[in-house]
Structure 1
């Protein structure tokens, strides 16, 4: 039940952000000279990469299918499982 609800929240957030992609991209553009390492590496491509992730050339339905695939892929990724395990161990140690 929680997983289904989480996925629903992901899709809702994606739809909202996608509908306001121009605002997100403009705000991100303002961050280009902020010195954030991941952005500074390829300033000229940073905004373009974010724009691609919104899948603006696709219909909303197709874009959501892409996101659904990405979520499903992420769940099965080994690094995700490792991160979860490390998080669980950290919780045991700190509690």
Structure 2
């Protein structure tokens, strides 16, 4: 079955994602700051959370719109993001 994904709000007590593994997706290195979280589910069961990061440029502007979309199939999640109008994609295999 194809994976499903949804952006998460801040965690709350009793959250159904408690105990789910979290993978940091930080293309900015030490300059990255935590932003959105993407919940990956299979058959309506949470299996993974991707923690997405943003960074501020030299003028202090946040690059938070860098993550523009995600694509899913049976075993991969691809996150499409933009840097200075150049598209980049990162794919994560789900085991």
TM-score over 0.5 for the alignment? no
What is the TM-score of this pair, normalised by structure 2?
A: 0.23
Larger Rg: 1
More helix by share: 1
What is the TM-score of this pair, normalised by structure 1?
A: 0.23
